[in-house]
Structures are given as C-alpha cells and as structure tokens.
Chain A
Amino acid sequence: MDSSDLPRRPELRNLIIRNRKRTILGFDPQQIIKYFFGANASTAVIVLVLIMIFLVREGVDFLPTNRHELQTYRQAGLEFCDLVDRPLREHQTLSSSLRQCVSAALEPIVKDARERRNAAFLLKTQAEEKAARQREALENALEREPPPAEDQLAALRKDLQTAAAAASQALIYPSLFTAEETALFKAQLAALSPELTDLPPFIQALSAEFMTQDRAAREKYADLVTAQEEFDEAPDDLHELVDELKEQALGAKQSVEESHALAVNRQQLLEAAETTADPDEKASLIKEAEASVGEEVDLTALTKELTARTGELQTQIAAYVESAEKAAASLPDDVGTPDAAALLQKAKKGLPAHVQDMREAATALESWRVDKPVSMLRVIGAFFFGTEWITNSSWQDFFGFVPLLTGSVVIALIAVFIATPISVIAAIYTNQFATDREKELIKPVIEFIQAIPSVVLGFIGISLVGDLIKEFSEVSWLQWIPGFPIQERLNMFNAGCLLAFMAVPTMFSLSEDALNNVPRGYIDASDALGATKLQTVFRVIVPAGISGILSAVLLGLGRVIGETMVVLLVAGNRIAIPDFSAGPGVVFQPAHTLTGIIAQELGEVSRGSSHWQALFMVGIVLFTISLLVNWCARAVARRFESQKA
C-alpha cells in the first residue's frame, strides 16, 4: 500500500499534550467525577458519625441530670426511708411462701371435704339455672305491688316445683356422694324456691364438715399456722412508721422539685428578657421572672425531722426482728406433703438472711448522712450496674440497665444457640450435598425469610409459638426439661426462637458464601486422597471456611441484638433480672430488652427529661454493642484469613 494514500494524521506531539479547553468551571471533569463518587461513598460515613454525635448529645446530659435527681433523693430523705423499706420488702415474699406452705400442708386433710362442698354448690347453681325461667317468674310475682292473687302464686309455685324436680333429676351427681346422699340432695334441690332463704341443709352440713376438717387440720399444724400468722403481722407497726416517714420525705421532695422548677422557669424568663429588644415585653418578662420564685425549702430542717426518729425506727426494727426470729424458731420440721416441705425450706432459708438484712439496715440508719454528696462515679454505677429500671414512679425513678441488658443478652444467646446449628448445617447441605434443583429451592426460600416483616413474626410468636411451647411444657413425659411446665406464654425462649428464625437467612447466606469460597483445590485433593464426602466436608471444607462461618454467626448475633419488634411483642416485657437460680429453665421467664424499652417508652416520655436521656443512654450502649459485634465479626474473618495466607 502506498503510504501517501493514508489520511494525514496529526502530529503525535499535539496528541499527547493535554487539551486545556475541556474544563467545567475551571475544574477538570475527571476530578469532578471523582469527587462526586467520593462524596457518595462518604455519605454513609458522615451519617454514621452524625448519628453517633446525635445520640451522645442527647444522652450525655443524663449523668448530670440523674446526679441531681439522686441528690434530691438523698437530701429529701427518700434514701433514708429506703434503707429500711427495701429489705423490708423481702418480708412479703417470705410471708407468701409461708402462706402457701400452710395451704399445702392443710390440703391433704381438707381436700375431700372441700371438694364435696364445692361440688354441692355447683350442683345447686346448675339446678337453679335449669329452672331459671320459672324461678324468675315467681320472684317477679312476689315482688309485685300489690301482690298478685294467691291462686296465681300457687300456679307459679307449682310450675317452679315441676321445673326444679325435673332439673334435679337431670343433673349428674359425682361419685363424691354416696347413693343416700345423692337421693337426699336431689330431694332438697327439687324443693329449691326463692322463698327459702337458707341454703339446702345438705350443703349446710357439707360446709360444716369442711369447717371441722379445716379446724382439725389447723390444729394439727398449729405450730406452723401460728408461726405464719405471727410472722405475717410482725412488721405491721414498722410498716406504719415507715409509711409515715415516707410520706413526709415525699412531701419534702415535691416541694424541692417545685422550687427547682420555678427557678428553672425564672432563669429561662430572664434569658428571654435579655434577648428581646422591645422594652415593654422585656419589662413584663422580668416581672414574670420575679414572680417565679418559690418559697425557700429548708430541706435540712425537714430531713432532721426524719433522722430524729432514727431511735424509734431502730426500736421497731428490733421488735420486728425479734418476732420474726421467734416465728422462724417455732416453725415445725414436719409439714406432711413434699410441696409444703419445699416451701417451708425456702422460707427457712430466707428468714435468717432477711433478719440479718434488717439488722444491718438498723445500723445503716445511723451512718446515713444527708449532706454527703452523690459522686459521679456512683451515678455511672447506678446506670451500668443498677438492677432496677423504675420509671413514672410516685416515689423515685431508677435507671439501672442491668435487667434490660440481661434480657437482651439472654434472648440473643438463645437465638444464636438455636440458629447457628440450623443455618450452618443447612449451608453445608446446600453447598455440598444438594442437587442443583434443591439449591434453587432452598436458597430463595431461606432468603425469603428476611422479607417477612418482623411484626408479622411477632404475631406468630404471640398466637402460635407461645401456645405451642405452653402445650409442650405440659406434656407429662417432657417434665424433665428444666422450667417445665412454663408460667408465661410470652418469654425469652419464645422471643429467642423467633429471632433465631430471623437470624437464619443472614447466617445461612454468609456461611454458604464462606463454604463456596473454599478453594476447589482443597476439595479435589481431599477426594483424590480417598476421603469420603463427609470426611472432606468436616476435615477440609468446614475448617477452611470456619472464619467465614464464625463471622456469619457474629453478624447474626448483631442482627438479633438490634431486633426490636419481635422482642417487644413476644419477650413478655417484664423489667426484672431473670431468676438465674432456676437453672436453664430461666429461659422460660419473661424479660425486657434494650431495644424493646426504647421502642416502648420513648414515645411517651417528655423530651429532655431524665427518662428521655436515660433512653438515649440505652441507645448509645446498644449502638456500641452492635459496633463491637460487627467489628469482632470482621476481626475474626481477618484473623483467620491471615492465618491461611
């Protein structure tokens, strides 16, 4: 080809020098595009930082606010009252187990008589119901003014008699009664009429029989019964005194709060006055501020009134302790049934500790100082280690988040415990054993679970899972499972099951990815060395994918901890630390969670109150936990990855 035929090409020199014309507002378009993409990528980071700042800004004031509250709690003397009141609450628990113990002890003796009496009462009601129409007719006639003619009444009476006789025949008499008793009772039921005010004599006799039995039983366990009654009444005087002091303290607290509110109001008005330009308005604001002054509350005087009664309190405590100890000493050893014995043991074990607590309370009263300042450390401790979350209380709010944390953690652990084997095994099956058609079925189905709105799962938890667990817990051959039969349908186990279900897609997909990423070469090598399929799976594939599986589990945990709707609906929402002394059966107790409490309470509290701030603190903790869990997941993945390389 002739080179002169070629079209003339521009000089290379000109080509490689940058064409300066192509700029947008003086910027290189390449740069602009780069910034645009960069900005989009950093949005996520910026939003995350903003969220953190927002949470912290709302929550951080909690500590000073709560400190102020706790200060008032102390200065107004509420703390002083609580020194006695708190340990005294244990009395109720002990007393109730003693009461249960008494009824359990009496039960075998009075059971027959009571059942006979109750059965008779039931039969009477049934008989009356069957003849209700005739009965009402007669009743109405009797009440009428003027009274109807005697023959009319006689007819009604006759109707009723026939109906009552028929009813008494139609009833089914239980085998609790002998044949003679049945005949006798039948006749009495047939004679029932509104004109008779007394109970049928048979029922009267049965009631009397029951009373005799009950009296006999109480006599037999006289020791127990008197001890119980004495213990029950023992703190009455002390209670009265404490209640009086509490009322006084509460009054003091309220006046302090009022004057504080007025002071805050005054401050705000003054600030507003500073900023307004209009002199008239300024003057009126200042006037208003001047008016917003509460009377000075002399707390020291008020609390002195309380502490002045320390001696009185101590005497009462001593009296209570003495009678409690006496009651404890007079408790018998033998109470018949094993149920009763167990309850008695519980009370016997609890009593000395309770007495000790009361004694300590008496000494603590003396060392209590109203003017001791509340340290910040204590406020922080009260939040992070506080075992009580009490809000909207007429006495004192406490924001201790341990019960919420335990609830969240236990539920999350249950969920992970259930979900991990299911999802990992499903992932192994899908990845290694399933045919292509099975894969096409399993994967989308499991991933679809993610699309189920959690509130729908909540329904299922309330209506289906709860009932199922309850029913299972009552099956007789399952009674060896700790915690069975369960009390509450809505409990941590129920919530854990549903959360496990929600965590399965995350765990499954990520584990499956991890298994998929195991190099083909490992699998070939293992097969070529004569390993069976299962050996290859468990000796090569799972160990090689373990980092991915672990991080899948951790990410599942993160998902579960942050889940709100299901726990709110299903966990039972009881704000208390679950009773771990119940062993593994603890999972069947209800609980509240970090997420649940925010969702439930944030809408109802007033903005900026200490309760509001406390909820933000919970939010911060939750956020931190999630960050940590995710970070751990990444760290695990990275750590094992670097080991492999």
Chain B
Amino acid sequence: MPSAPVPASVSAEPLIQVEKFNYAYGDHQVLFDLDLNMRSTDVTALIGPSGCGKSTLLRAINRINDLVDSARVVSGRIRVDGVDLYAPEVDVISLRRNVGMVFQKYNPFPRSIFENAVYGLRVAGIKNRHDLEEAAERSLRSAALWDEVKDRLHEMATGLSGGQQQRLCIARAIALRPRILLMDEPCAALDPIATARIEELILQLRHEYTFIIVTHNMEQARRIADRTAFFYKGRLVEEQDTMKLFTAPDDPLTESYVTGRLT
C-alpha cells in the first residue's frame, strides 16, 4: 500500500479516554485496569492474541454489549468527548448512531442493497424517499461500492461477493455519518484483493471518521494505523506510534508477539 500513515498531531485532544477500565462477563473478568487514549485524528489498531479482550473493548465503546446479559463494567470508565459512556444520562441509541461498527463476519440484512444502506436512517425515523436515496448514494460512493451496485440497488444484498458485502456494511455504518467507526477484524473473512480495497477505503475516509480497528494482521496494522495498542490477557501492554511498536517496542512481550515468537 503506497500511502504512508500520516504523522499524528501530538496536540490533538484524545476523543476516547479509557480510564482504569475493568470489565467482566459475569464472574469472568476479561479487561483489567485499561488506560488508553485515542485521538480523533488517528487510526488506532488494536492487536493481541485471541481472547485477550479486543472485541470486548470495542463492544464496550458503543455499548452493544449491553445486550449481553452477563456483561458488566466492574470499575473505571470510558469517556467519549469527555462524557462518561456508562453515565445514566447517556442515550444509548444516539451513542450507537454516532459510533458505528463493522463486524468480522459481514452481516448485511437479507434485504435489498438499498434497504441495507438506509437501514440506520429508517430506524432513525427518516421516511422521505429523496433523502434516503441521496444518503444511500452518498454512503455507497464513500464505501467505493456505488459503481458496482448502482444498477442493482433493489437486488438482495446477500447476492453480492463477500468483499462487496463487507463494503456494504461499511456503507451502512457511514450512512448515519458517525464520528467513530469501530471495526472488528473487518478483513478477516476476505481475500487479499478485497482486503486491499477495504484498507484503501479506510485511508480515504480517515479524515472524516475516527477509526479503531481490531486486526490479527500485523502488516495491515502497519499499513493503516497511526497508533497501535497491544493487549495481552486483558491488559494493555503497550500503546505506541505504529512504526515504533513494530520496530522498537518498549516491552519484550510486544516484541515477541509482533515478531511471531510469542508462545
């Protein structure tokens, strides 16, 4: 991938602040004392071995884990733009509209491409046909999907290829114009070409949205992320400028992980 990560501006205020965050499923604690800041101008990658809690952190940020009965915050907080996410005055629905999410397994609804693209707007109560069409075109263009689907907007979304379906899911998320986009291994189910297209997309959109991406692909993290955070067994080991984390990590654990020697 040609475009190198844009150097992060040091002065930018952190948009997401994770403070002494402890999180558990029932009695099984999975996140321990997390302290992490993410700036709005950065693409942040979260890496770490399977089961270390990356998805859990993402799902805590848009509170989609509220729907898991056993999930709970043990202590600490996450602030987004200074607001404590778990404070009672937070409107979860509005939060989710502004913090979009893309899942590992592409999951368009079994409906038309158009209906998928505008689903978020529909549930937000927008009925005007014209507005919906405009938003669908805008988001599909942003997701670099428009040219491929503009003639078959009313066909089933499930008829698209995997990569197209994943881009449709991205379009569906950005149709709501969120500030933050959480991506949980967005390319894990895709082939290298489809992966490259998504990465390209992220780099194009990075000025409009704050990306937080979970990935198991070290190369991908290198290619797209400004900052990378390494998790191990529910703890944050190191959060660094991506280049530094991969070339000269502070922590030996990080080094053994990024070089593939972690056992």
Contacts and interface: CB of A to CB of B under 8 A. Distances in A.
A645 B105 CA distance: 15
B109 A527 contact: no
Interface in B90-115: 93-94, 96-97, 100-101, 103, 105, 107-111
B123 A539 contact: yes
B142 interface: no
B71 interface: no
B103 A527 contact: no
A523 B65 CA distance: 12
B124 A540 contact: no
Interface in B65-83: 67, 69
Q: Chain A contact residues (Cβ within 8 angstroms of B): what range?
A: 20 to 34
Interface string A526-563: 11111110010001100110000000000000000000
B93 A525 contact: no
Nearest to A518: B110
A522 B158 CA distance: 12
A529 B103 contact: no
Interface string B116-135: 00011011100000000000
Contacts of A543: 110-111
B103 A525 contact: yes
Contacts of A526: 109, 119, 123
Contacts of A372: none
A644 to B, nearest CB: 5
Given A521-B105, A521-B107, A527 B123 contact: no
A522 B109 CA distance: 6
B103 A530 contact: no
Contact of B97 (A522, A529, A540, A644): A529
A530 B110 contact: no
Contacts of B224: none
Q: Chain B contact residues (Cβ within 8 angstroms of A): what range?
A: 20 to 34
Contacts of A535: 123
B64 interface: yes
Contacts of B107: 519, 521-522, 524-525
Given A528-B173, A644-B158, A544 B110 contact: yes
B16 interface: no
A436 interface: yes
B110 A532 contact: no
Contacts of B69: 435-436
Contact of A530 (B67, B94, B105, B169): B94
Interface string A440-471: 00000000000000000000000000000000
A522 B110 CA distance: 9
Contacts of B120: 529-531
Of the candidates B93, B97, B105, B110, the one having the most CB atoms from chain A within 10 angstroms of its own CB is B110
Of the candidates A523, A526, A527, A530, the one having the most CB atoms from chain B within 10 angstroms of its own CB is A530
Given A436-B69, A519-B107, A522-B107, A529 B173 contact: yes
Nearest to B63: A527
Of the candidates A529, A531, A532, A544, the one having the most CB atoms from chain B within 10 angstroms of its own CB is A529
B26 to A, nearest CB: 12
Contacts, number: 70
B143 interface: no
B254 interface: no
Of the candidates A528, A531, A643, A644, the one having the most CB atoms from chain B within 10 angstroms of its own CB is A528
Interface in A410-450: 435-436
Of the candidates B93, B124, B156, the one having the most CB atoms from chain A within 10 angstroms of its own CB is B93
B172 interface: yes
A530 B176 contact: yes
A530 B175 CA distance: 12
Given A535-B123, A539-B123, A644-B110, A530 B93 contact: yes
A285 to B, nearest CB: 76
A530 B101 contact: no
A525 B102 CA distance: 8
Contacts of A643: 110, 156
B64 A530 contact: no
Interface string B144-188: 000000000000101000000000010011001000000000000
B168 to A, nearest CB: 11
Given A530-B96, A530-B97, A645-B158, A525 B169 contact: yes
Nearest to A435: B69
A529 B110 contact: no
Nearest to A436: B69
Contacts of A435: 69
Given A522-B107, A524-B103, A524-B107, A529 B64 contact: no
A645 B101 CA distance: 24
A547 to B, nearest CB: 11
B64 A527 contact: yes
B62 interface: yes
Interface in B187-231: none
Contacts of A539: 119, 122-123
B67 A527 contact: yes
Contacts of A530: 93-94, 96-97, 120, 123-124, 176
A256 to B, nearest CB: 68
A535 B121 CA distance: 12
B123 A528 contact: no
Contacts of B111: 543
Interface in B36-74: 62, 64, 67, 69
B123 A532 contact: yes
A435 B93 CA distance: 21
Interface string A601-645: 000000000000000000000000000000000000000000111
A529 B96 contact: yes
Nearest to A523: B67
A219 B79 CA distance: 96
Contacts of B156: 643
B100 A528 contact: yes
A521 B67 contact: no
Given A521-B103, A521-B107, A529 B67 contact: no
Given A529-B176, A530-B96, A544-B109, 15 more contacts: A521-B103, A521-B107, A525-B103, A525-B108, A525-B109, A526-B109, A528-B64, A528-B173, A530-B124, A531-B93, A535-B123, A539-B122, A540-B109, A644-B158, A645-B158
6 contacts: A528-B96, A528-B103, A531-B123, A532-B93, A539-B119, A645-B158
**Which 10 A-B pairs have CB atoms at the shortest separation, nearest pair first?**
A521-B107, A530-B97, A529-B120, A528-B101, A531-B123, A530-B96, A535-B123, A644-B110, A525-B107, A530-B93
